[in-house]
Amino acid sequence: MPDIDSITDNPADGMQRLHLIMQLLQTLDNGLILLDRDHNIQLWNSFMENHSGISTSDARNRNLFELFPDLPQAWLKRKIESVFKLQSRTFCTWEEHPRLFNFKSTRPMTGHSAKMYQNITFIPLHGLDKTVNQVCLLVYDVTEIATRKKELESANESLRLVSRTDGLTKLYNRAYWEECLKLEFQRSQRSGRPASLILLDIDHFKTFNDTHGHQAGDQALRMVGQLLQKFRRATDTAGRYGGEEFGIILPETTVEQAKIFAERLRLKIATSDVIWDGESLALSISIGISALQADMNTHQDWIEASDNALYQSKAAGRNRVSVAGDSAE
C-alpha cells in the first residue's frame, strides 16, 4: 500500500487517496456514522454493518431514527444539535447511557455481558465554507472495561456487606449497628423527632446451649435474626449486639409504639419453636425499651437506658417487655 504522503495531487492520485481513506474508515475497530442535519446517514462503516446487520448500502441516506426506532430520540437529537450549534465535540460514556445501539457483545462468554457497552464521541465536521453540516458519531466497544468495573464494584459491595454483617444471623454486626445508632442519635437529637431503642436477650440461653448443644443454640440465634428481619420496618435497623443479645433502632417511633412492636415480637418468638434434630424447642426473649431523651449526651446513654430496662425484664421473671423509667412489673 503506497504512503499517503507520497501521493501527488493529480486526479488519479486523488482517487487513490480517497480509496485509502475509505479503507481506513472501514477497518476501524470502532463504529463510525456520518449524519447530515436531518439525521440521514452519509457514512456507515464495517463495524456498524457487522454489529447491526444492516449493510452500508441499506443504511446510506436512511434516517438514523427510522432505522433504529429504539434510540433515545429526544436525548440524542439534543446531543447532536448541540454539536451543530456549538461546533465542538461532546461525549457520552457508558456510565451515563450503557449503550446507544442495542448491539450484542462480541465476547458474551468471557465478558459476562450479553450486550455491548459503548462510549460515544460526537464530532462536528466543517465543510469548505467553514460551517458544520455533518456530525460524526464514533462508537467505542468498552464492554470489557465496563464489565470489569461493574464486577469490581460488585465485589467491593460484597466485601462491604460482609464487613457489616454477622455471619450467623445475617443481621448487622455490632460495629456497624452501633455506627447506625450513633447516626440516628445525632439525627433525632437535631430534629427533635422521636426515636426508640430496643435491646433484647434470649432467655436462659446458656442453659439452652448446655441442654441441646451449641448447634441448636446457633439455630435459635438464626431464628431470632430471621424474625427480627421479618418484623422490622424498612426504616428500622436490627443488629446482633453480642452473644444472644440483639438491638433494634426504631426511628420516628414513640416509646408507646415501640412497646406494641416489642410485644408482638416477644409473642411471636414465644410461639415459634426452634426445630432441631427432630425436636421442637421452646424459646423466649426479654426486652428493654428506651425513648431517646433530650438530656442524653451520647448514644451510649441511650444503650444504657435500654440495657437497664432489659435488666428490669429479667429481674421480673423474663419473657416480658420493660420500658426505661417504668416501675418493675
pLDDT single digits (tens) 302-312: 999 999 999 99
Residue-wise pLDDT for 269-313, tens only, equals 999 999 999 999 999 999 999 999 999 999 999 999 999 999 999
Q: How far is CA 251 from CA 289, 295, 297, 298, in A?
A: 13, 18, 18, 16
The reported pLDDT for the residue numbered 27 is 65
Element (H, E) at 249: strand 245-251
Is the CB of residue 328 less than 8 Å from the CB of residue 318? no
Query: What does the mean pLDDT of the chain come to?
Result: 90
Q: Is residue 28's pLDDT more than 90?
A: no
Count Cβ neighbours within 10 Å for each residue of 319-328 and write b for 16 or more, e otherwise.
bbbbbbeeee
Look at 16 and 99; give whichever has higher pLDDT: 99
**Distance (Å) of CA 197 to CA 184, 194, 232, 250, 328:** 10, 10, 13, 6, 18
Residue 320 Cα to chain centre, angstroms = 39
C-alpha cell at 151: 464486577
Task: Tell me the DSSP string of 252-309.
Answer: T--HHHHHHHHHHHHHHHHTSPEEETTEEE---EEEEEEE--TT--SHHHHHHHHHHH
| pLDDT at position 329 | 45
| Mean of pLDDT values over 226-253 | 97
| All domains in the chain, ordered by first residue | 12-150 (3.30.450.20), 174-323 (3.30.70.270)
User: What's the pLDDT tens digit per position in 55-104?
Assistant: 999 999 999 999 999 999 999 999 999 999 999 999 999 999 999 999 99
What residue ranges in 130-229 does DSSP mark as E strands? Answer: 132-141, 195-202
The 10s digit of each residue's pLDDT in 132-189 is 999 999 999 999 999 999 999 999 988 988 899 999 999 999 999 999 999 999 999 9
Cα dihedral: 322, 324, 325, 328 (round 10):
30
pLDDT at site 4: 43
Reading the block at residue 72, the C-alpha cell is 433515545
pLDDT of residue 113: 79
Burial of 189 (0-12, 13-18, 19+ CB in 10 A): middle
Q: Smallest Cα–Cα separation from 324: which of 316, 314, 312, 246? A: 312
Average pLDDT over residues 230-254: 97
Q: Is residue 2 pLDDT above 60, yes or no?
A: no
Q: What percent of the chain has pLDDT over 90?
A: 81
Give the gyration radius of the chain's Cα atoms: 33
Q: Which residues have a Cβ under 8 Å from the Cβ of 185 and sit 6 or more positions away? A: 195, 292, 296, 298, 299, 302
Rounded distance between C-alpha atoms, residue 135 and residue 132, angstroms: 8
